[in-house]
Amino acid sequence: MMKNAVSCHDLVVVRGAREVLHGIGFDLRAGSVTGLLGPSGCGKTTLIRAIVGLQDRVTGDISVLGLPAGAAELRGRIGYVTQEPSVYGDLTVLENVRFFAAVLGVAAAEVDRVIAAVDLTGHADARVDSLSGGQRSRASLAVALLGSPELLVLDEPTVGLDPVLRRDLWALFHELADAGSTLLVSSHVMDEASRCDRLLLMRDGELLADETPEALLDSVGTTDIEQAFLTLIERKAGAR
């Protein structure tokens, strides 16, 4: 297995006349769960779109599974879940997953596996547009899990979920990593940081930290991730 599933160096993204990512660099270790944390509007989704090859006006180097981001050879090797559900509302959960399995050429046996993995077996015959927001997000995640992708990029996958489902999803993320997948999970909820192997903390298009949760807390002398984030912001402001 390769050491790093994703490597970014001097990544800059311009949207309109404004630079929204400012020379970001980091590596995602293969087989790990990395949390991408920061407030809404800090650039998390833009960074994610750059990694999966969907973002325009990107400069710098991005290597994904040993290939340039967006390379055709990466199709089928990456699972991507957007903030908005990416499944069809007028189809049932089962119909959606069967459809995408056929498109991807995935074995039919995968369908029941991924629906069970996201705890939607009891809603498999329900139309997606009749589900709650959290359930629709989990239906999108089920599709992303088809074929056991090597890299899973999940944009705010736990928004709107109750604490039990959030806990169960994070357990699933670590099971996938233990099986060899690499996960990048974005969130604006700081208490999810402790569930990650490593953290990328962002603010205003810049990377404030690239550390394990333990190393981050030690470096600022606190036991609270949110306080650590605020301390890093203050240090950044003081350095200017």
Condensed to tens digits (0 to 9), the pLDDT of residues 185-229 reads 998 888 888 899 999 999 999 999 999 999 999 998 998 888 988
User: Could you tell me if residue 170 is inside a domain?
Assistant: no
For residue 1, pLDDT over 60 is answered with: no
Q: Which domain holds residue 208?
A: 1-71+191-240
For residue 60, pLDDT over 60 is answered with: yes
Around Cβ 235, how many Cβ atoms within 10 Å? 11
User: Could you tell me if residue 83 is inside a domain?
Assistant: no
Mark out the alpha helices in 108-224 (DSSP H runs).
Answer: 109-117, 133-144, 163-178, 213-220
- Closest by CA position to 8, among listed 22, 24, 21, 20: 24
Which band of pLDDT confidence, cut at 50, 70 and 90, is reported for residue 68? very high
User: Could you tell me if residue 178 is inside a domain?
Assistant: no
Given this model, what pLDDT does residue 134 score? 82
For residue 28, pLDDT over 70 is answered with: yes
What is the spatial distance between Cα 66 and Cα 127, in angstroms, rounded to a whole number?
A: 39
User: Could you tell me if residue 56 is inside a domain?
Assistant: yes
For residue 50, pLDDT over 70 is answered with: yes
Given this model, what pLDDT does residue 71 score? 96
User: Could you tell me if residue 77 is inside a domain?
Assistant: no
Tell me, what amino acid is at 21?
L
Q: What is the DSSP letter of 92?
A: B
User: Could you tell me if residue 182 is inside a domain?
Assistant: no
Judge if pTM exceeds 0.85: yes
Mean pLDDT value across residues 109-119: 93
Residue 52's CATH number: 3.40.50.300
For the chain, the domain total comes to 1
User: Could you tell me if residue 180 is inside a domain?
Assistant: no
User: Could you tell me if residue 179 is inside a domain?
Assistant: no
